[in-house]
Amino acid sequence: MVITLQQELIMNSDKTIDGRGVSVHIAHGAGITVQFVHNIIIHGIRIHHIVSKEGGGVIRDSVDHYGLRTVSDGDGISIFGASKVWVDHVSLDHCTDGLIDAIMASTAITISNCKFNHHNDVMLLGASNSFHGDMIMQVTIAFNCFGKGLVQRMPACRWGFFHVVNDYNKWEMYAIGGSMNPTIISQGNCFRAPDNVHAKEVTHRDHFHRNVRKHWRWRTVNDLFLNGAFFVPSGDHSNIAQELKRHMVQAKDGAAVGLLTRFAGVLRCRHDRPC
């Protein structure tokens, strides 16, 4: 089925969207909003060609409340002030704004086994340099395939702690970026740089003086760099081992990425068979 949302699909807490066993597309309309809720799973669907819906409308956002929403900005999945969110085996491309954005003190987020294609601003984690609330943000981005036609923000991070374990198949500007002193642990990724000699660097730090940027903790651990790709680390790495022990994902070497991401994106399930 192809579901064209006239307005945002706003999820309540303790809910799962699961498309296994069928072909479900959210396309050519509004996207999914996860706002001020917790315990959310989004699994096994395709989200693409999401557009900004003009005018907004009256939308039910809880069991006992509905109200007027302004125009949506065209994110595939918008996570706003939410926690304990798992996005798994979702395929995303061609959205007006971000494919997945998480902002306004969202935390405890895992984005795993997804496939991303054909987009500019892929993933924004923390939207504002002035919003200190995003310091609590903790996000794991693991076993995803960043594929064809991607430009930047895979992800772009502000303030929080981010563990990144993925397959990167070229980019037009950069892969991982950020600002406002985020901690970024890049572990066991495979980075295939584009042929453009001016875009070989994996990392991008937003417009801050070098003396400020050098203190941001960005670390590469067992990454694999191909076609001239390189990662510029920074900051104090003395307690990185302790930081990694706090997280569930223990990444293998970057050479194992192909095996770990071979089923990224929507699974092809058949009736009466395990996915």
Mark whether 217 is an active-site residue. Answer: no
What gap in Å lies between CA 257 and CA 236, rounded to an integer? 27
8-state DSSP, 195: S
Structure tokens at 83: 């926690």
Least Cα distance to 168 among 92, 115, 217 occurs for 115
What gap in Å lies between CA 51 and CA 26, rounded to an integer? 11
Among 153, 158, 192, 213, the one annotated catalytic: 153
Cβ atoms < 10 Å from Cβ of 13: 14
Residues 6 or more apart whose Cβ sits within 8 Å of residue 198:
none
Hey, which residues does 33 pair with through a beta bridge?
Answer: 10, 78
Q: What angle do CA 194, 139, 267 make, to 5 degrees?
A: 70
Q: Which residues are identified as catalytic?
A: 153
